[in-house]
Every structure is written in C-alpha cells, then in structure tokens.
A = this chain, B = another copy of it.
Amino acid sequence: MNNELLQTLRNITGTSHVLSEGDLTAWEQDWRKRARGKALAVVRPASTAEVAEVVKACAAAGVSLVAQGGNTGLVCGSIPDETGKQVVLSLQRMNAVREVDAANLTMTVEAGCILQTLQETAEKAGFLFPLSLAAEGSCTIGGNLATNAGGTQVVRYGNARELCLGLEVVTPQGEIWEGLSGLRKDNTGYDLRDLFIGSEGTLGIITSATMKLYPMPAAQLTAWAAVPSMEHAVTLLGLAHQHLGAGLTGFEVMGQFALRLVAKHFPQQRVPLYLDTPFCVLLENSDHESETHAREQFERLLEVALEQGCVTDAVVAENLTQAHQLWHVRESIPLAQAEEGLNIKHDISISVSRIPDFVRETDELLQKAIPGVRMVNFGHLGDGNLHYNVQAPAAGDTKAFLREREEEVNTIVYDAVARFDGSISAEHGVGSLKLDKLEHHKSPVALGMMRAIKQALDPQNVMNPGRVLRA
C-alpha cells in the first residue's frame, strides 16, 4: 500500500523529489530541537498542479500530509508525527516570484519563497515589504502565512495576515482555490483567505500569495531609551504614536536582566546598559521625507518624554551601523538566554494598558513560587506582545529546573494571562506544543466552531491532523 503510494508520488514529482530513505533530519526535526518525527516520505512538488495531485494521492491512500516551508516554526507544527505514516509536503521548490505589480503595490510569490527574497525583491523594485523576523533568511512566506507570523514591524504594518491580499490554496480534496487577488476591497462572500492564514496547514496548503508592498521610507532611524518602569514604557508608547504617527515602525521593550545577559555572553557587543532602570526601549521611526526630518521628529519626541519623566536617558543612532548594532542587541537576547542555560519561554499578548499590572503581579507570583527565579522579559510592547521567559535561579541544576518546574511555571503564567484576558500564543501559533494549553484556555464556543470548520473542510482529516485541534 505504502509502496504503491510512493510510486504514485514519484510519478507526480519525479523520483528524485520523493525522499523516503537516508537522513531526513532537516524535515523531521523541529527548529528548536524539541521534537523529532518520522516521515513516510518527503515530497517536493514543483507546481500547484503537482501539489494538488500529491494531496489527491495521499487522500485516496488514507495518508495524512504535513505541509512544510522553511521548518523554522516554534511550536512543532510542521514536522511529521512519530508514526512514520505521514507525508511531509515540502514547498521548497515552489519559490518563484510570479509578479511584481508596482502600480498596484503588490507582488505575487509562491509559498516556498524565502522571506528575505520577498524583502529583496521589493527593495529592487523600489518598495518595502515590511514583514521582518529573526528567521527571515530561512523561513518561507507560506509558513509565515500559515502561522500568521508577526515580528518587529507589526506596530505599523500588522502581522502576515494584514500584508496578504490573496491566496492560492490546495484544499484537502486536492482542488485548487484560485484566490490570488491584488484587490484591496472584495466583499463577495466569506473571508476564506483569513481562514487559511493562521490555520497552520490544517485546512489546506497555501501554494502562492499576493502580498502588499509599501513605499520605501526615505529614512529609518533607531533610538534607545531608558525608562524607569513598565508604566513609563507604556506612556512613552502613547507619546510615540502621537508624535510619530505612522512613522512609528518599531517599539521593543527589553528588561534589565535580558540586556545584562547579552552584555555577559556577547562582550563584543556594545550594550547601552542603564543599570539603574528596569527597562529599556528600542524605537524605530520611518520617514517618507528625509533623515533630517526623521531626526527632528525623533528628538522632539524624546525631549517631551524626558520632560515628562517617562524617559531618563536616550540616544538616537547616528548612522545605520549604530542602528544595526542596537537592533542586534535586541535580537541577541534569545541567544544570550540560551547561553545562560535552559529556560521556559512564553509568547504572550495582553492589552497594552494592562501589561504593567500583569508583569508586576506575575513576577511576584513566580518569585514567590520559585525564589531567585530570573525574568528574561522582552518583546514587542507596541503590539502588547511579550516574550515573558523564565530562567532558573542562578544557583542550581537548570535541567532539573526545566524538568521539575516547567509545568508549574506555565500554569502560573498562563493563568495570569487568562486573568488579564490575554493570549497564550501571540505570534508563534499552536502546533502540537500548545495543543493541551489551547484546550484549557480557549473558550469552548470558539473551540466548537473551530472543530466544526475543520470537519466541514477536511472531513477525512488529511491536513496536518492533531495540530491546532486534537485529531
């Protein structure tokens, strides 16, 4: 039976694009090395028609499919399970830029296009494609859309969802939905596009997408500000919205301990440490006029913020190199944290107005439960999104900490998130990693509708079963 299916798949894509032997680690192991599955085969179709044929063949054989892009997901949503019975459908070979439409401010790309390729394609045409995140050199736009990726420019441009105008999708029945569209307005029925975006490959396979382009800003400036508290960081955010308008394209908060970890483990980096303040903020101002104008605007904002006392010290990067250095510090936090030892990560969101209370209360609860616990708290404050990570106390066995306390820590954090009406997965998704947590924290009415939709569109459960929703 399996041999028959493998032969059918070979007939569709060519023998060399059905991998069933040898080292399949690249497709079977997740990015953070938290899980490893076993694939019946990895199939790499070259076209939408081939994807449709592969889906039909698998559905006919009763074999389920796991769609995979760059395999950089953080919730074990794009690797096969351990049964050895699932086919991994890799979109890697579907990486063409189909069209750039300058007058319409759109580009149409295949799902396997690397995010960085989209950024570069846009830049070459004189535009900005603003989706930007740590894995941009490896992740694919198909995966970005399947997980509704976020990143550092969401405060201005929104998540992957907001950047997408249309999709081409292969359904669980192997039909092709030609929903590519460069239209900014289209009210002809239910919003299927947004249903597929963020569904993590459980409703169909995104094969191509039409994405928005933006005019390239004339200047992008970065500032670093020390703030006396999280409350003040929130006040600064309000001032920044008011003074910079849509110019505010980045607003990241970083806790003191997170920054000290970067200074400790990457001494070659010049971390602007303000040891007397609990948080620093990284701001980005994009300007369509000029660098001079951007700098004036930025300096005026920081003056007001200093006067009002919500900033104690601040610096605007003098040039691009300095700006990159500041962003590099921010982006090095996860690595510094890894150097320091194992830790428990959370990707949560809360209404911006409630974040200061959330952090104070939850910090206290954790400190009480685990004296000496260290908070690596940083994230996209502009979007209410914190990477609220918990590092073991300095003394002691970190492996044991993870093994013995992870569940307890997660419960404390996620229960607090629930009390503050927040989300337990702001930008990473659910995959298989947060399946249990979702069942516990999501409203039963919402879960009921999700199950009904999954059942309606994929009654055979062909598409990534057991992810997002239990199989």
Which residues of chain A have a CB within 8 Å of any CB of chain B? 101-106, 147-148, 150, 154-156, 158-159, 161-162, 171, 175-179, 181-192, 194-195, 197-199, 203, 215, 217, 234-235, 237-238, 241-247, 286-289, 297, 349-354, 380, 383-385, 421-430, 434, 438, 441-443, 445-450, 452-457, 468-469
Contact = CB atoms under 8 A, between A and B. Distances in A.
A279 to B, nearest CB: 16
Nearest to A182: B351
Contacts of A237: 103
A359 to B, nearest CB: 14
A422 B183 contact: yes
B384 A183 contact: yes
Given A383-B185, A430-B189, A177 B442 contact: no
A352 B385 contact: no
Contacts of A297: 289
Contacts of A104: 351-354, 384
Contacts of A198: 187, 189-191
> Nearest 6 pairs between A and B by C-beta?
A245-B288, A246-B246, A456-B456, A103-B353, A194-B194, A185-B426
Given A104-B384, A159-B184, 7 more contacts: A177-B445, A183-B351, A185-B380, A189-B469, A190-B198, A245-B286, A453-B453
Contacts of A199: 190-191
B351 A106 contact: yes
Nearest to A289: B297
B449 A177 contact: yes
Nearest to A180: B421
29 contacts: A102-B238, A103-B235, A103-B238, A104-B352, A106-B351, A148-B191, A150-B187, A154-B185, A175-B445, A177-B443, A177-B449, A179-B446, A181-B421, A181-B423, A182-B352, A183-B351, A184-B385, A185-B426, A185-B427, A186-B349, A187-B198, A189-B442, A189-B469, A190-B199, A190-B450, A194-B194, A194-B195, A245-B287, A456-B456
A423 B195 contact: no
Contact of A191 (B177, B197, B242, B424): B197
Contacts of A423: 181, 183, 185-188
Chain B CB within 10 Å, residue with most, of A103, A105, A106: A103
Contacts of A101: 351, 353
A415 to B, nearest CB: 15
Contacts of A422: 183
Nearest to A353: B103
A424 B178 CA distance: 16
Contact of A103 (B234, B424, B469): B234
B177 A349 contact: no
Contacts of A190: 195, 198-199, 203, 449-450, 453-454, 468
A424 B350 CA distance: 39
A354 B421 CA distance: 45
A154 B469 CA distance: 35
A55 to B, nearest CB: 13
Contacts of A353: 101-104, 182
Given A105-B352, A184-B384, A245-B246, A446 B191 contact: no
